[in-house]
Structure 1
Amino acid sequence: MSASEGIVQQLTRIPFFLKLWSRFPLGPLRLRVEHGIFPYPHYAYGLFWAATLASRLGIERISAIEFGVAGGRGLIALERAATEISEATGVGIDVFGFDSGEGMPAPVDYRDLPHIWGAGFYRMDADKLRKQLSNAKLVLGDVRTTTAGWIAEQHAPVGFVAFDLDYYSATVAALQILSGPPSTHLPRVYSYFDDVTANDLGCMNPYVGELLAINEFNQRFADRKVCRIELLRVHRHRWERWQERMFAFHNFTHPQYTQLVIPTDRASSQLPLA
């Protein structure tokens, strides 16, 4: 830890300092990512490390996706973070937002948790949202067809995905984004699942919702798995609500999965005696 990082670490212990820093987000990008000084810190975390991974793999451009745009605040935050992270890492980032554009459809069955979500929830004003976007592209329609169509269009490989579709059925469809050939995604894709938890009336469990969709995806593929990033709290400066919702997709047979991405200098690769 550098001297400046140590000073920042001490300052974060002062009440209200983090709120003040968030209001005036100054300082190096990586430091702000590490401390969560972004409107959507989970998006910044996943996107920063996706771009870092791409850079170390020699990949010049990636795609970042939000499934479930709703009003659009998350997509705007993702686009703004992408601009800053792209400038810092040198990796181009294309941002896409998938949504029906008409609010949530009717739930299919109990697995969609109809006791806490229903038809018409989270409608979008697409015209209003487009006016606030600079480069991000909206992909509107039934996610079952738009996801497959997007893969066929051969975009830059996916590096970060935020799943916020609430329903089991919609999440199953969205997970198609990780079922394409290796050229469509990085060997590891940082993945945020917003609805692996719910309020006290939701009583979330592994047999419904996003958790069930993840489990079924893992059962379907022998060499592809979506797993929670274990002990993420250990690598962060404090506990944050989103940490338990951050996962990573692994394609173990991706041609670049085993490529070394850690620096090989002596300080990084050796532990000599003092």
Structure 2
Amino acid sequence: MMKQKLLTLLLILLPSILSTQYIEDEQRAFMPEWKTGDILTVFSPNGIYLYKDICNQFDPDDCENHIIKYLPRNTKIIFKEIVNSDLQNYFGINAPMVKVSVDNTLGFVFSGLLSTLPTIPKICNNFQNYLESNYGQIIKTKEENWCISEYGEHCGKTLKSFYNKDIIYATSTSSGINGKDIRTESIINLSKSLHEAFLIALNCSNSEIKNYQFEKFERDAIGWHLESNNPTICEYDKNSDKPLKSAYYQLRFSYNENRQSEITITRNIKYSDNCK
């Protein structure tokens, strides 16, 4: 049952994981650079299992009899070593099994759902929940009004909230083409790793994203992006004159030479009478 729940949650949002430090032939792969003794945190929303032997943890027949204990989200564990270079793939998460210690018990876990990031708060429905829990209160805010073209096409407003360590939380609302409303939520300057971006988004995204499925990451000139593959799902909005709406999501991660990074979830909404 726990494995089924984990599979469902990973289908919710982001089926791909990568650290920009470990791009090999443009394939998505995460090979940890942790050192023996590093303290890691479980970032799987429904936790993971600790195994007594190396096995394919996503094959119930292979691992069912190897479980030592269940590790809830935010469990602290001690990293020991990467046990081999073979990568296990779980919905696009390519990462090896690693040896760890939990409460003086040695075992093996899947590394793709572990991180040295600050822990996930009990309530984390958006990026701001995560930042406020780990980086304190907002230092200052700044509002920006903008238009993409001089003719007033695609105009919007961005509100930026500044935190300690030069971390920024930004939200934007705008009207796009074909009557779409566009909303974005971003964390700026938090991490240079797509692996970490994946884990934050997996744990701290709007709950309505559970209705959507996503496919593989693609890379373009700006960075990595992930598209929802079922944008025609109809949602009901009782506050709108046209209560039917179709929504389409995109996750984008970028990192440049100036060590600036940005994690953004964009929600494109189109209101209509028939959701086409």
Is the structural similarity TM-score above 0.5? no
Higher strand share: 2
TM-score (norm 2): 0.26
Higher helix share: 1
TM-score (norm 1): 0.26
